Structure 1
Amino acid sequence: MNYWLMKSEPDDLSIADLAAAPGKAFEWTGVRNYQARNYMRDGMQVGDLALFWHSSCPEPGVVGVVRIVAPAHPDSTQFEPDSPYYDPKSSLESPRWLGVDVAYERTLPLMSPATLRAIPGLEAMQVLKRGNRLSITPVSPAEWALIVGERG
């Protein structure tokens, strides 16, 4: 099993949205960075777990856990002209952008970046590195254990 961190703006998709629909698969859309796309395409597998991070909000940080429930597939929003994620260079025959489907696992108490930085062992965590802007990053098993702990 692999572990990940996935950022979402709560106005687009929040942990509360997922918690309100347990068992429902949500398409993870809008990733427009090649490295993050490649993580979904080449690394994520059904059954992997991800830390759910609220970003671009007054209180950013880890707020929950989701499970990957469908492998990488073309992101539907790249084909929708009315979508902010529309990409006119992408086609059904040759999609540029991918998404995965996630489902709610659990809500966690907010762990802000400052809280995470204060935990010994998380110094190298990618999301905490200066200048990191990726919306999807790998999380090591040791980092996962420090954040999720006994909660699984």
Structure 2
Amino acid sequence: MELHAHSHSHHWVRRTPDWRAAAVAGFAAGAILMVLELFWSAWGTGGSPWEISHMIAAIVAGPGSLGSPGFDLGVVALALVTHYVLGIAFGLVLAAVMAPFRLDSSAGMALTIGGAFGVLLYLVNFFVLAAWFPWFAEIRGAATLIAHLIFGMSAAFLYWKLERDDTAL
């Protein structure tokens, strides 16, 4: 159990993130984001709940995956793998920022940093990377921003809860 008895100083220190906790936090936050995306697609826009799966699969398989937004097991499987790999990768990046600056010193700090990370992730994904994956430009907006904000906050909070205290070993 993590006691979070860290100093509240947020200067850089040599401190290795808990990579296992970061991967689990990214995976779980990715699942939360995926549920939000499915909900938004199905009920928020009235579109197919599989449309975003096609967009995510197209990151790996190319724009040919964008075809019919109906259910396709291969497309959904590729989207799941891609989504979870990216979630884990982003969880690792977030932990790599949080640990050395002790931004995991409290739940409030973790949520704040996670929220900022989620907003930054949204901006990079939907404005920078959209140059290579232009189909993501069509889902820019408040709902997608809020979903990414929730992803970042979930990943940071879960990392804070799951990380092992490296100073107690």
TM-score range, shorter chain: under 0.3
Greater C-alpha radius of gyration: 2
- Structure with greater strand share of residues: 1
Higher RCO structure (Cα 8 Å, ≥6 apart): 2
Structure with bigger helix share is: 2
